Structure 1
Amino acid sequence: MAVDGDSRLELGRRKERCLLGLLLLEAGRVVPRERLFELLWDGRPPASARAALHTYVTRLRGGLSAHGVQVVMKGDGYLVEVDRASVDVHRFSAALARARGIADPLDRAAELEEALRLWRGQLLADVAGDGLRERLGTALEDQRLEALELKAEADLALGRAAQAAGQLAALSQAHPTRERLVELLMLARYRQGRQVDALAAFRALRERLVAELGVEPTPQLHALHRRILTNDPELTAASPVAARRFLPRSVPGFTGRREELLTLDRIAREQPDSSTTVVIGAVTGLGGVGKTALAVRWAHLSADRFPDGQFYVNLRGYSPGEPMRAAEALTQLLRALGVAADRLPSTVDEAADLYRSLVAQRSVLILLDNALSADQVRPLLPGGPRNLVLITSRDKLSGLVAIDGARRLTVAELTEADAFELLRHVLGRSRVEAEPEATRELSAWCGNLPLALRIAAATLADDPHQTIADYITDLRNRDRIAALAIADDPAHALTTVFGQSYRHLSEVDGRLFRLLGLLTSGDFSSAAAAALADLTVPDTEAALTRLSQAHLVTQERPGRFGMHDLVREFASGLAPGDESHAAMRRLATWQLDRLAAVAEILPGFRVRLSVSTSAPFPTEAAATSWLEAEADTVISALTCYTKAGWHDDVWHLAGLLREPLRRSGRADEWNTVAQIGLDSAIEVGDGYGEAYMRDMLAGCYQDRRMIAEAVAEHRRARALYLQVDDHLGAANCADALGVLHQQLGDLVEAEQLHGEAHAALGYLEDPILGTHSRIHYGTLLGRLGRLTEAAAQFRLALAGAAAINDLFLACFAHHNLAFALLRMQRHEEGARHARAEIELAQLAGSLDRAARGWEMLGDCLFDDDHPQAMEAYRRALELYERQRDSQGEELRHRIDRPR
C-alpha cells in the first residue's frame, strides 16, 4: 500500500505493484534489469520480458511522478528516487538499529513499539508468491523477531512480566525451536509467579529439539532452567531499587545542546567533598527554553552511570495550582523505590530518613523537575557520593549553589542551526529545504525558543498545504504571543508558560516587569528602568536582580539588562493603558534631561533647544558613556512618543540625537530620526523646530550624497531660520550650501555662500561653526588653486578644533591640510597630518575618519614609498569594508590597478 497524505495511491496491476515493491526494497540503489527479470518471473522470464518491464516502468512513472516519486533508468537497471525514510521497511530497519543502542528500557520499548507498528501484514502481500516472499523476506523476518525479543527484554526490565508473557507465548507457538523466545518466556512466567509453567516451556522445547534435530538446548537455557528449579533470588527484582527507571520519555527530535550535555557529563563526574555529600546539578533558564528536555535526554543517555535506578518527580513549581510539598514528593519517591503503601512513614522527617537510607549506599539519579526554589528542593536531597540530583528550574537557585554546592548550567535558546534542524525534524526535510529562507525567518520569529518553535511547527504540520512563508505572513498580522498556542493543549501555550513565571513575582517586581515590556530596544540600563518605574536606581537594580534570578531578564553586563523578544512582548501586554502612559512619560522626561546634559558638556553640539537639565554630567567621558549606552533606547522610544502625541518632546529628542548619529555614521537611523522630528515640529507649528529638523535632514542627505535633496532642505531651513531671527542657523546653512555647490561644480555660487557664512560666523563668534566654516572655505580655495590660502584656513581650523577639544573637527582639518600639502608636492608634511588624523580618529572611535586617514596617507606616500602606500590603502580598505562603505570598492580598483 502507498499513501500520499490522506490519499491512497492506485498503483496499477499486480506485476507493476510487485516491480515497485522490489525497487522500494532497494530504494536509492540501482536494481539490475536481469535481477528484475529473475524475480518478477521466478527465474523463467518470457521472451517479451524486456518489453513488458519497460511497459511496467512507464505505467509506474505515470502514477507516481505527480507524487514526487521518480522511477529512473541508470545503466542497465532501474532505481526509484525516494527518501528511504518514507518506506516502512527502511524506517523499521533504522528504528531497530537505534533501539539496539538505547540503554534505557523505557525508551527502547517505545522505539520498538513504533517500529513494530510498521508491520501491517506480509511482505509484498497480494503481489508476490510464497517463494519470492520467502526468498526476499527471510532476513526481514529475522529482524522482526529480533525486535519482538528486544521488546520483551525491555518489558521484563520494566516489570511488565504479564505483558511480555502473553506476547512470548504466541510467538513461541509460531516459532517453537527459537530458543531465545523460550528463554524470555521462561523468565516472564517465573516473574509472574508461574514456576511450573516456566519449567514446562523448557521441557517442551527440549523434547522438540531432541526429537526433531537430535540436539540439546543451549547451556544458557540449561542454566536458566536450574536457576528456576532452585528459585534463584537474582531472577526477580530482589532490590527495591534495582533496574527501576522512572523517567519521562525523551522529547522526539531532540536537537543540538552538545555543549550542555557535555557540561552535565562533567558535573556527573565530579567527586563530592565527602562520603556523605551528594553531587547536585541545577539546570536553569527561561520557561520554554528546553530545560526538562535537556535533563531527560541526558538522563536517558547516562542510564549506565546509575545501575541502581533513575527517579523523576515533577515538583510543579511553575505549574497551575500549588507547588508540590515535600511530603508528597517524598511519598512519590519512596513508592518508586519500592516501599509498600502500608510501610510509608507518617511524618515528613521519617519519610526523609527512610528515603536517604534507601539510596545512601547506592548509585541513583534523582531528577527533580520544575522546582520553584532552593527551599522546595532541600528536603529531597539524599546523601551518598555515587548519587546525582539533577534539578530543573526557572529560578537560578542561587541559594542551592552558594549553600549546597550545586553546579549550575544556564540553558539559552537554540542556535540558528539547531533551531533549523528542529523545524526540519517536525515538518520534514523536504518541506523545510524547499523554503530555507522562510524557515530561518520562522526560527527568528520564534526567538529560537524550543517551545515556540515546536508550537509553530505543529501548527504548520496540521496544514500541510500551507507554505512556511504564508504562515509567517499570517503571523505578522497577529499577536505573536497569542498565536503561539495549540488549541487543544493550552498548558503549553506561551501565555501559560510565561504567565506561570509572572504569577510568582512580588507586586513591585511584577510592576517593573510589565513596564519593561514597553522598552523595544535591544537592552536597557537600570537608570532607564528606574525612570520608567519611578523607583530609585538601587531599588530598581535589586528588582532587576530578582527578575534575572527568575530568568525573566538577563544581565548583559554591569548596569545593563535585556529581555528575550517573546518575553518582552508578553510583558508589554500586561500593563494597563494608564500605567503604560505614565511610565513612558517619565522615561521621555528623563531622556530629555540627560540629552540636554550631554549637549551642555560635549563639544560639537550646536543646540539651541529649550530644554534644561537637572544634573550636569561631571565629565565629558561620563556624558559620552551615557550617550553610547542610551541612544538606542531613545531612538526606539520615539515612535511610541509620537503615537502618544508628545510632538514637542519628540522633535527636541530627535534634535539632541543629531550629533551622535552623525558622528557614528548611522545614516539610516539619522534619516529616520530626522524625519520623525520634522513631522513632530510641523505638527506643533514650531518654526525654529522645523528649521532645525530640516537642517538635520539636509545634513543626512548630504552625508548620503543625495545632493539635490540636501540643497532643497538647506534652503528651506535657511529661510525658516531667518524668519525666527536665528542668524547663526542661517549662516550655518549658507556654509553647508557652499559645500554642496562645490560638489555640484558651481564654484562661483559656492564662493559667494562661503563668503556670507564666513563673515556672519566671524561676526557671531561661534567657535564650533566658525571652525567648520574655515574647513569648508579652505576646501573651496584649494579647488580654486589658491593652495597657500587654503592651507592657512586649515591651520586656523586646527587651532579652533584644539581650542574646543573637538577630535572630529581636528580630523577634518588634518585631512584637508594633508590634501592641500599633497597638491603642493609637500608629501612628507602631508603624511604627518594624515597620521595625525588616523591617531585622533582612533581616539574618537571613528572608523570612517580612520579609513579616510589611511587612504590619505597612502596618497601622500604613493610616489616616495610605494610599498608603504599599498599597506596604508589595504588598512583603509579593511575599515571601509567593515562599514560597508562604497568608497572601499573605488579604493580596491586603485589597489588592483597596475602602477
Structure 2
Amino acid sequence: MSVPDLEANPPGDHNENPTRQATQEALVSGHGRVFQALGDQHNQFITVGNVERVVPRQLPPAPRRFAGREVELGVLTDMLDTAAESGATVVVSAIGGVGGIGKTWLSVHWAHEHLEWFPDGQLFVDLRGFAPTGEPMSVGEAVRGFLHALGEDPATLPVDLDAQVGLYRSLVADRRMLIVLDNARDTPQIAPLLPGGQACTVVVTSRNHLPGLVTVHGAWSVDLAVLSEAESRQLLADHLGADRVAAEPDAVAELLKYCAGLPLALSIVAARATTHALFPLAALAEELRDQKARLDGLNAGEIPLNLRAVFSCSYRALPRDIAGLFGLLSLAPGPDISLPAAAELAGLPVTDARALLRELETAHLVSQPVLGRYRFHDLLRLYATEQARHHLPESSRHAALRRLMDFFLHTAHTAERLLDPHRHPIEIDASGPDCHPLPLPHQTAADAWLEAEHANLLAGQQIAAELGWHAVVWQLAWSLDTFHYRRGHLHEWRSTWEAGLISAREFGAPAVISLAHRLLGDAHLNLGNHNEALRQLGHALRVAEDAADLSAQAHAHRILTWACGRQGDDRRALEHAASALRLYQALDLRAREAAMLNAMGWFESRIGDFEQAQVHCAAALHLCRQQEYRVGEANTLVSLGYVAQRTGRLDGALDFYQAALALFRVLNSTYYQADTLDRIGQIHAATGHSDQAREAWSEALSIYKDKHRPTDADRVQQEIDNLIEGVR
C-alpha cells in the first residue's frame, strides 16, 4: 500500500498542479544550428494493433537550392540499400567537414528525397557539439526531447537516465524511422541515442572524426569537401539569377575565391547581394578584400579559410542601431533569445526590437527557426561577441546584460507564484524602470514561458554566478523550483541549488542560507539521495535555529518530516511534523498548519494511534476548507479514509476515498488519482464487490503505466490477477 504525500506531491513546497527568399535559403544551406526546433510537417498518428503511435515529423524543410554533392548523395543511398540487405542498423557519420560545409544541408536534402523509406517518422536534434558558448547538449536533454516527440509526457518520464534511454529505445525499436543526430561532439554523446533494433536509420553529422562510431558501431563515413568552383558558381547563380552572375564575371570569380567553396560563406554573400539587389557585385567583392585579420579566432585549425571578411560584409552594411543590437545579442546566455528578451537586452520597445531583428534576419545574421525566437549561427555569435567588445563600452554591455537578467528573474518569479500560489514567497527587489517583465496572465502561460526559456535561465544563472550577482543566482533557483519538480528536471533542480547555496553564503543572510540548504536537500530527497538530503536539511535547521528564524525552522521540519517518512522512520517523522505544526501555528500560516495537522494524523495512523489521527485529520479538513486549500483537502480526505480503513470502517473509508478522488480529478492530479483508485479497489475487494474492484484497479493500473511507476503497476496487476483467479 503506497503512502500519499500530504500536499499532493513529494516534499518541497510544490503543489500539483517572408523572411526574404535568399536569406531563408542561405539559412538552409549554411549550417545545422538553424534547424533546431524547426519542422515543416506536423506530427501524425498511426495505429499499430490497438496502440496509437505518434509519427514525429521533425525534419527541417528541404533546401530549395542545392548544388553538387552527387557523390555523397549516392554514397548515402548505397549505404541504405546495403544496410537493408544486411538487416543492420545504419549509422552515417559526416566527418572531416569544416564548420559551415553543409553537413546538415546534405543530410536534410537526402532525407527529404527518401521520406518514403521512413514511414514511421523522422526525429531531428541539434546536439550543439560545437556551440561557441555553453556546453554540448547532454544525453538526457536529447533523450527527453525525443521522448516528448514520440508522445511521452515530460512530467511522467522516469528520473533515471538509463531508464529514459531504455524507454526511448523501446519506442523506436521496431519502427522504420530516420534519426538525425546533428552537430555531435563525440561518440559518447551519440552512443546512448543509437536505437537497439534494426529498423531505424541514423544519420550523424559532426565536425570531428568519430573513430569509435566507426569501429564499435559500424558507422559509414562520409567526408564532405568544399564545393568545386563549378558547384559554387551554380549555387550562387541559383540564389542571384544566371543573368546577374553572367553580367559580372570578374566580380563573381573574386567572390568565389573569397568564399573558397564554403556553402555558409556563399550563402551569406548571396543573402547580402539579394538584400541590396541594385548594388554591383563588384562592391561586395571589394568589401571582402584585406579583411583577414578580423576573424582569426574562428579558425582554430578546423576552418581553412577566413570568414571574418564574409561576416563583416553584412555587418558593415548595417545601420548603427542594428549593428548595436547585433553585438548586444551575443551577450545573451543560452541557445536562443525571445523577442521580449531581445527588447530588454537592447533597452528598446518590442516593436522597435522586432523591426531591427527583421533586418538582421534578412541579412542572414540571425535566424528565426521558431516564431518570435532568434538564434545565431555559432560562428556568427563569436563574430558578434567580437564586435560588441570592439564597439560597445563595457558599461553598456554590463547594463544590457543586467536588464536581461532582471527580466528573466522577475518573469520567472511571476511564473513561480502562479504555479504554486500557496508557497511561502521570497522578497526580490522591485524591477527597475528599464525592466519590463512579462505579466503572464495565468498558470498555463507561466508554464509555457518557463519551458521555452529553461535553457536560457540555466545559462543565465551561470553567468550571474560568474559575475557575482549572488541575489540573482539564488532567487532564480527559487523561481525555477516548482517547474523543475513538476517537469522531472531533478538534476537541474539540484544543480541550480548547488549554485544557489554558494551564492546564498556569499549573500550572507541566514534565512537565505537556510532556504538554500533546505531546497538543495529537497532536490536530493526527490533524487533518492536520502543521506545527502538529511545532511542538507540538518544544516538548514541548524542555521534557522541559530538565527531564531521560526519560519525557516518550520519549513525545515516540514521537509524533514517527509525525509524521515521516506526512510520508514514514522516516529521521527511524527516528531518533525509536530515541530513544524507548532511553528506554523505560531506564525499563523494557516494552509501550512492544515498540511501539518494532516501530516500528524497520517503518521499517527502509521504507528497505530488511530484515535489521535482522527482528531488531527478532522481538524486539518476543517482548516483546509476554511482556507480553500483544495490540494490539502484532497490529501486529508485520503488520510481520513486510511484511518477508517485501518479501523474496519470500510463504508466510511470508501466515502472518503471517493470524495478525495473527485477533488483530484478537478485538480487534474493524475498521480494521486492512481493512489486513491488503488485504495478504492482495496475497499471494493474487501467488501466482495469484485467488478468495482477490478474497474478501480484497472484505471489505477493505466495511470501507473502512463506515469512510469512500474513497482505500483506490478503490484496492482497482481491484485487484478488474484481477483480474477479468485472469481474462477
Q: TM-score interval w.r.t. the shorter chain? A: 0.5 to 0.7
Q: Which amino acid aligns with 1:829?
A: D
> Does the alignment pair 1:588 with 2:371?
no
Q: Which amino acid aligns with 1:680?
A: S
- Distance (Å, rounded) in 2 between the aligned partners of 1:425 and 1:666: 28
Deviation for aligned residue 1:880: 2.3
- Distance (Å, rounded) in 2 between the aligned partners of 1:785 and 1:453: 79
Aligned residue number for residue 463 of structure 2: 640
Q: Deviations over 1:185-216 (max 9, x none)?
A: xxxxxxxxxxxxxxxxxxxxxxxxxxxxxxxx
Change (3 A) 1:779 1:591: same
TM alignment of 1:812-823, pairs within 5 A: 812-813=635-636, 815-823=638-646
Q: Which amino acid aligns with 1:754?
A: A
Q: Which amino acid aligns with 1:730?
A: Q
Change (3 A) 1:790 1:648: same
- Distance (Å, rounded) in 2 between the aligned partners of 1:736 and 1:438: 50
> Does the alignment pair 1:650 with 2:473?
yes
> Does the alignment pair 1:888 with 2:701?
no
TM alignment of 1:27-66, pairs within 5 A: none
Aligned residue number for residue 416 of structure 1: 181
Deviation for aligned residue 1:435: 4.6
TM alignment of 1:187-206, pairs within 5 A: none
Aligned residue number for residue 293 of structure 2: none
Change (3 A) 1:436 1:802: farther
2:535 maps to which of 699, 712, 735: 712
- Asked if structure 1 preserves the Cα contact closer than 8 Å seen for 2:674 and 2:699, the reply is no
2:214 maps to which of 400, 417, 433: 433
Q: Which amino acid aligns with 1:594?
A: T
Q: Which runs of 5+ in 1 are unaligned?
A: 1-246, 259-285, 301-412, 444-450, 457-478, 882-886
Deviation for aligned residue 1:672: 0.6
- Asked if structure 2 preserves the Cα contact closer than 8 Å seen for 1:523 and 1:560, the reply is yes
- Asked if structure 2 preserves the Cα contact closer than 8 Å seen for 1:648 and 1:680, the reply is yes
Q: Which amino acid aligns with 1:832?
A: Q
> Does the alignment pair 1:511 with 2:324?
yes
- Distance (Å, rounded) in 2 between the aligned partners of 1:551 and 1:855: 57
Q: Deviations over 1:818-844 (max 9, x none)?
A: 5445545345325424533542452xx
Aligned residue number for residue 346 of structure 2: 533
- Distance (Å, rounded) in 1 between the aligned partners of 2:400 and 2:565: 48
Q: How much is the aligned-residue C-alpha RMSD, in angstroms?
A: 4.9
Aligned residue number for residue 611 of structure 1: 429
1:721 maps to which of 544, 560, 575: 544
TM-score (norm 1): 0.45
Deviation for aligned residue 1:550: 4.5
- Asked if structure 2 preserves the Cα contact closer than 8 Å seen for 1:603 and 1:804, the reply is no
| 3-state SS, counterpart of residue 254 of structure 1 | helix
- Asked if structure 2 preserves the Cα contact closer than 8 Å seen for 1:253 and 1:425, the reply is no
TM alignment of 1:619-634, pairs within 5 A: 619-621=441-443, 626-634=449-457
Deviation for aligned residue 1:651: 1.8
- Distance (Å, rounded) in 2 between the aligned partners of 1:455 and 1:618: 42
2:559 maps to which of 736, 739, 745: 736
Q: Deviations over 1:590-642 (max 9, x none)?
A: 23333444566651231243433568948444655544544543222111111
Deviation for aligned residue 1:728: 1.4
**Greater Rg, structure 1 or structure 2?**
1
- Distance (Å, rounded) in 1 between the aligned partners of 2:623 and 2:590: 7
Deviation for aligned residue 1:521: 3.4
Q: What is the percent sequence identity of the aligned residues?
A: 22
Deviation for aligned residue 1:868: 1.6
Which shows bigger deviation, 661-670 or 577-586?
577-586
- Distance (Å, rounded) in 1 between the aligned partners of 2:298 and 2:208: 21
Aligned residue number for residue 871 of structure 1: 698
- Distance (Å, rounded) in 1 between the aligned partners of 2:609 and 2:468: 53
Change (3 A) 1:815 1:289: farther
- Distance (Å, rounded) in 2 between the aligned partners of 1:707 and 1:829: 35
- Distance (Å, rounded) in 2 between the aligned partners of 1:554 and 1:570: 15
Deviation for aligned residue 1:454: 9.5
Q: Which amino acid aligns with 2:430?
A: S
Which shows bigger deviation, 668-677 or 600-609?
600-609
Deviation for aligned residue 1:817: 4.7
Aligned residue number for residue 150 of structure 1: none
| 3-state SS, counterpart of residue 604 of structure 1 | coil
| 3-state SS, counterpart of residue 388 of structure 2 | coil
- Distance (Å, rounded) in 2 between the aligned partners of 1:606 and 1:716: 20
Q: Deviations over 1:380-403 (max 9, x none)?
A: xxxxxxxxxxxxxxxxxxxxxxxx
> Does the alignment pair 1:782 with 2:605?
yes
- Distance (Å, rounded) in 2 between the aligned partners of 1:723 and 1:594: 33
Aligned residue number for residue 73 of structure 2: 254
Change (3 A) 1:795 1:705: farther
| 3-state SS, counterpart of residue 416 of structure 1 | strand
- Asked if structure 1 preserves the Cα contact closer than 8 Å seen for 2:416 and 2:482, the reply is no
1:839 maps to which of 665, 673, 676: 665
Aligned residue number for residue 769 of structure 1: 592
Aligned residue number for residue 94 of structure 2: none
- How many pairs were matched up? 472
Which shows bigger deviation, 749-758 or 611-620?
611-620
TM alignment of 1:76-95, pairs within 5 A: none
Q: Which amino acid aligns with 1:511?
A: G
TM alignment of 1:324-723, pairs within 5 A: 415-416=180-181, 433-436=214-217, 482-483=299-300, 485-487=302-304, 489-490=305-306, 502-550=315-363, 552-555=365-368, 559-563=372-376, 568=381, 571-572=384-385, 574-576=387-389, 578=394, 580-598=397-415, 603-613=421-431, 617=439, 619-621=441-443, 626-723=449-546
Deviation for aligned residue 1:667: 1.2
Q: Which amino acid aligns with 2:603?
A: L
- Distance (Å, rounded) in 1 between the aligned partners of 2:338 and 2:180: 26
Q: Deviations over 1:205-228 (max 9, x none)?
A: xxxxxxxxxxxxxxxxxxxxxxxx
| 3-state SS, counterpart of residue 587 of structure 1 | helix
- Asked if structure 2 preserves the Cα contact closer than 8 Å seen for 1:524 and 1:561, the reply is yes
Greater relative contact order (Cα < 8 A, sep 6+):
2
- Distance (Å, rounded) in 2 between the aligned partners of 1:453 and 1:776: 70
Q: Deviations over 1:484-507 (max 9, x none)?
A: 8443x44xx6x6666655555443
- Distance (Å, rounded) in 1 between the aligned partners of 2:208 and 2:517: 51
- Distance (Å, rounded) in 1 between the aligned partners of 2:74 and 2:183: 6
- Distance (Å, rounded) in 2 between the aligned partners of 1:296 and 1:566: 23
Deviation for aligned residue 1:852: 4.7
Q: Which amino acid aligns with 2:574?
A: E
Deviation for aligned residue 1:289: 5.1
TM alignment of 1:142-153, pairs within 5 A: none
Q: Which amino acid aligns with 1:875?
A: S
| 3-state SS, counterpart of residue 707 of structure 2 | helix
Deviation for aligned residue 1:781: 1.9
Q: Which runs of 5+ in 2 are unaligned?
A: 1-65, 78-98, 114-177, 185-200, 225-258, 265-295, 723-728
Deviation for aligned residue 1:533: 1.9
Aligned residue number for residue 51 of structure 2: none
